[in-house]
Amino acid sequence: MADAVPESAPAAPTARRTVRLKEVAARAGVSINTVSRAIRAPATVRPELRRHIEAVLDELDYVPNRLAGGLASAHTGVVGVVVTSLLYSEFAAMIEGLQGGLARGGLSTMLANSHYRPEEELRLVRTMLSWRPAAMALIGIDHHPRVPELLLHAGIPVVELWETGDVAIDSVVGMDHAGVGRAQAGHLLEQGYRRIAFVGGVRPHDHRAQRRRDGCVALLAERGCEPLVMTAAKGGTADLGETLLDRLLQKAPDIDGIVCNSDVIAFGVLRGLIRRGRRVPEQVGVIGFGDNEAAACMQPPLSTMRPPRAEIGQAAAAAVLTRIEGGPAIRRVFTAELIARSSTAREAASAGTGTATSSIREIKS
Amino acid sequence: MADAVPESAPAAPTARRTVRLKEVAARAGVSINTVSRAIRAPATVRPELRRHIEAVLDELDYVPNRLAGGLASAHTGVVGVVVTSLLYSEFAAMIEGLQGGLARGGLSTMLANSHYRPEEELRLVRTMLSWRPAAMALIGIDHHPRVPELLLHAGIPVVELWETGDVAIDSVVGMDHAGVGRAQAGHLLEQGYRRIAFVGGVRPHDHRAQRRRDGCVALLAERGCEPLVMTAAKGGTADLGETLLDRLLQKAPDIDGIVCNSDVIAFGVLRGLIRRGRRVPEQVGVIGFGDNEAAACMQPPLSTMRPPRAEIGQAAAAAVLTRIEGGPAIRRVFTAELIARSSTAREAASAGTGTATSSIREIKS
DNA sequence: GTGAAAGCGCTAACAT
DNA sequence: ATGTTAGCGCTTTCAC
């Protein structure tokens, strides 16, 4: 399985041969300071000299030491990002947007994963703060109770992503998840479904999922429908979707609409319905959340909610940049888009491919 | 859209109120040094005193300054990770495994994304090195020409993930992608398909995808089949899959087997085939790559190759940890697993759900 | 425009 | 077991 690779591998971390500003300065015949300025403020160095220094820099393959630089200048240009999960591609596009936006502003990103564990989140925030980051970004608005005070105490810009609520540490950029749940249920009602259930995996600390569930339940109650909920305290998978469907059908065989907490859950639900001979969308309507890349390839194509992930990430990056430059904290709420496909098209059950996208829906004030 | 959040937000980054070792020491009535040791080597401080110091640490909410610590000690406990993409969830599970393994070894992770751009990779490697990381991890084995020398010069452990080849910078943990392509084509041949094409999005610098394609083509040639290739120079999407299928059918209407570069491409291909009235798997066999969570929910369920992503990430973390402790560089090649479902079950086209998993296949020597 | 000197906050010898 | 003394490599005044 594993065998040594002798050549090309330093037997032990090489006997410290790092190039410092000092070496560059000596080689270029100037002071350390001048080299430093040639790097950070080229305009303050005579063009001719500057080019000379740059040549030496290149020749010696100089890599600055940001630990030293950061220590001396008290600002680092890294942004600490704490996410609750890297899997399920739930946040990938958002993080990518955030990272891209920050990079354009000259900031690096340090990513850590709390796996939906508050204790872990606290630990990670402490670790990141120990790097004296220029700012911090966190997923969600529900944190370990000590996190907000720690962050506030650090005196740096903070942005909370993905979810929005009433209280904010600093800036917030996200969606109203309760509104997503309402929109899902609302769409099924509009399509004429009446006996509607919420199905999905809801992890103990996934507050976003809980809010979607609550939003769905609330709307159903308002409209006089008895809300049904069938969840499990774990992450969503297709198999879980099918399992929950089973339980649901046992409890309520007359169900005709299913709001899923994620597209992946919906995939399993669709598979289960087909196996059990229920026709979608004629007998049962199904709507997911997330706009998974496979949703449009299901049979029937799955209706879902598309969260503007990249936009949220980019807006969060913009918020950080603004704040670093002394601007105000920002609160921005994006709207998820309803993608109505065949899986909820009870009226026009023969309509065909159903790739059409409905107009953008306002989720909540 | 964006409005100010006055309360709770520091008008400007607070007037520097950071707690240093000095403050803790004064409060605890000991020297700076003793506090430092109480943190890093608790055993060297009298238990009683230690508890006292810990209380003060807690009371003052001390957050160490790792810049200073790293500068002084010359080791940081961060591992720089450069990935080519965060999207498509292609690497998420692998990165998660890597990160988890490193965290267990007390190492933090700094993630950056090169978007498949070599120039960007070089830039990112330089930036990461400027943080004096304990080790570096990179996706793939084809790098910007200056990357290996930079890394070697840094004298730290390096691990290349996902792909394996003949030359390594230091450690390598991955899969043989050419072998994956061969296995895909081989499976279709075994099932009796003969007129086989490779279809997919192959980004200019996605060498893994290129290797899978080449492996597929090579095997077909060896077996006396004329290899067909229909690719586009971009990332894979379901829509692209359907587009490429169109072109393929135009060029070779008698095609009966399709090797897809990714499951997402396969989703589009399946949708396209069904729309065009071709029966899968009776008339055409389709196999994907990646074991996307939706693959088992397609109609028919999609056969695919499952790469051991988490295992690769964990093994890479182990390699880094070993190497940091002075161990040898490691080379480890994992095997992708063939997941045979209905989309290639020409023989047993009536077999039903087809969720069964074939035995593990050796991909290459 | 350039150089000299003084730290940034911490760790690592060495004393004690 | 604890304190003292030097730096780590860089940035930042402040002279020149």
Is the Cβ of A224 closer than 8 Å to some Cβ of chain B? Answer: no
Residue B16, pLDDT score: 45
Give the mean model confidence (pLDDT) for residues B253-270.
97
Residue A9 has pLDDT above 80, yes or no: no
**The pTM is what?**
0.86
Query: What are the chain B neighbours of A86 within 8 Å (beta carbons)?
Result: 92-93, 95-96, 99
Give the mean model confidence (pLDDT) for residues A119-146.
93
In this structure, CATH architecture of domain A177-306+338-351: 3-Layer(aba) Sandwich (3.40)
Count of C-beta atoms within a 10 Å radius of residue B349 = 14
Residue B59 has pLDDT above 80, yes or no: yes
Asked if residues A205 and A116 have their Cβ atoms less than 8 Å apart, the reply is yes
Query: What are the chain A neighbours of B132 within 8 Å (beta carbons)?
Result: 65-67
Query: What are the chain A neighbours of B171 within 8 Å (beta carbons)?
Result: 5, 9
Closest partner CB to B68 (pick from A64, A71, A111)? A71
Tell me how far apart the alpha carbons of residues A132 and A140 are, in angstroms, rounded to a whole number: 22
Residue A190 has pLDDT above 80, yes or no: yes
Q: Mark the nucleotides of strand C covered by protein, meaning any atom under 7 Å from a CB.
A: 1-5, 7-13
Residue where the block lists tokens 């609409």: A257
Is the Cβ of A145 closer than 8 Å to some Cβ of chain B? Answer: no
Query: What are the chain B neighbours of A131 within 8 Å (beta carbons)?
Result: 66-67
Q: Mark the nucleotides of strand D covered by protein, meaning any atom under 7 Å from a CB.
A: 1-5, 7-13
Residue A125 has pLDDT above 90, yes or no: yes
Residue A7 has pLDDT above 60, yes or no: no
pLDDT in tens, A223-254: 999 999 999 999 999 999 999 999 999 999 99
How many Cβ pairs within 8 Å bridge chains A and B? 222
* Of B363, B340, B361, B341, the residue nearest B352 (C-alpha): B341
Residue A92 has pLDDT above 90, yes or no: no
Provide the Cα torsion B218, B219, B222, B226; round to 10°: -80
Of residues A363 and B185, the one with the higher pLDDT is B185
Closest partner CB to A87 (pick from B96, B274, B294)? B96
Residue B15 has pLDDT above 90, yes or no: no
For CATH 3.40.50.2300, list the domain ranges present in chain B.
Answer: 2-36+76-176+310-336, 177-306+338-351
Contact across the interface for A154 and B113, Cβ inside 8 Å? no
Q: B321 forms bridges with which residues in the sheet? A: none
Cβ-based contacts (< 7 Å) between A 38-77 and strand D:
39-40, 64-65, 68-69, 71-73
The alpha-carbon gap from B44 to the nearest alpha carbon of chain A, in Å, equals 23
Q: State chain B's mean pLDDT as an integer.
A: 89
Give the mean model confidence (pLDDT) for residues B98-115.
89
Is the Cβ of A110 closer than 8 Å to some Cβ of chain B? Answer: yes
Looking at chain A, the whole-number percentage of residues with pLDDT higher than 90 is 79
Q: Give me the amino acid identity at A146.
A: R
Scan residues 247-266 of A and list those with Cβ closer than 8 Å to B.
263-264
The alpha-carbon gap from B39 to the nearest alpha carbon of chain A, in Å, equals 14
Closest partner CB to B110 (pick from A68, A110, A271)? A110
Give the mean model confidence (pLDDT) for residues A285-303.
96
SS3 of chain B: the string is CCEECCCCCCCCCCCCCCCCHHHHHHHHCCCHHHHHHHHHCHHHCCHHHHHHHHHHHHHHCCCCCHHHHHHHHCCCCEEEEEECCCHHHCCHHHHHHHHHHHHHCCCEEEEEECCCCHHHHHHHHHHHHCCCCCEEEEECCCCCCHHHHHHHHHCCCEEEEEECCCCCCCEEEEECHHHHHHHHHHHHHHCCCCCEEEEEECCCCCHHHHHHHHHHHHHHHHCCCCCEEEEECCCCCHHHHHHHHHHHHHHCCCCCEEEECCHHHHHHHHHHHHHCCCCCCCCCEEECCCCCCCHHHCCCCCEEEECCHHHHHHHHHHHHHHHHCCCCCEEEEECCEEECCHHHCCCCCCCCCCCCCCCCCCCCC
Q: B232 forms bridges with which residues in the sheet? A: B201
Closest partner CB to B131 (pick from A67, A238, A275)? A67
Q: From the CA of A72 to the C1' of D13: give the distance in Å.
A: 13
In terms of CA atoms, which chain A residue is nearest residue B271? A297
Contact across the interface for B86 and A63, Cβ inside 8 Å? no
Residue B12 has pLDDT above 50, yes or no: no
Q: Which of A44-58, A103-117, A309-323, A347-361 has the lowest mean pLDDT?
A: A347-361
The alpha-carbon gap from A347 to the nearest alpha carbon of chain B, in Å, equals 22
Looking across all nucleic acid strands, the nucleotide with the smallest C1' to CA distance from residue B74 is D8
Task: Identify the helix (H) or strand (E) that includes residue A202.
Answer: none
Give the mean model confidence (pLDDT) for residues A325-336.
94
Residue B217, pLDDT score: 98
Angstrom CA distances, A354 to A318, B12, B34, stand at 36, 51, 70
Q: From the CA of B21 to the C1' of D1: give the distance in Å.
A: 19
Residue A16 has pLDDT above 60, yes or no: no
Residue A88, pLDDT score: 58
Contact across the interface for B152 and A330, Cβ inside 8 Å? no
Query: What are the chain A neighbours of B264 within 8 Å (beta carbons)?
Result: 293-294
Closest partner CB to A3 (pick from B157, B270, B331)? B331
Which CATH superfamily does the domain covering B2-36+76-176+310-336 fall into? Response regulator (3.40.50.2300)
Count of C-beta atoms within a 10 Å radius of residue A348 = 11
Residue A165, classed as helix, strand or coil, is coil
Query: What are the chain A neighbours of B10 within 8 Å (beta carbons)?
Result: 152, 155, 170
Q: State chain A's mean pLDDT as an integer.
A: 89
Residue B349, pLDDT score: 53
Q: From the CA of B278 to the C1' of D13: give the distance in Å.
A: 77
Report the nearest residue to nucleotide C1, CA vs C1': A45
Is the Cβ of A317 closer than 8 Å to some Cβ of chain B? Answer: no
Residue A112, pLDDT score: 85
Tell me how far apart the alpha carbons of residues A270 and A249 are, in angstroms, rounded to a whole number: 13
Residue B365 has pLDDT above 50, yes or no: no
Residue B350 has pLDDT above 50, yes or no: no
Contact across the interface for B237 and A293, Cβ inside 8 Å? yes
Contact across the interface for A112 and B132, Cβ inside 8 Å? no
pLDDT in tens, B33-50: 999 999 999 999 999 999
Grade residue A362 by pLDDT with cuts at 50, 70 and 90.
very low
Q: Choosing among A20, A146, A152, A293, which should be mutated to test the B contact, i.e. which has the most B CBs within 10 A? A: A293
Residue B88, pLDDT score: 58
Cβ-based contacts (< 7 Å) between A 8-27 and strand D:
18, 20-22
Scan residues 79-108 of A and list those with Cβ closer than 8 Å to B.
86-89, 92-93, 95-96, 99-100, 108
Tell me how far apart the alpha carbons of residues A15 and A111 are, in angstroms, rounded to a whole number: 30
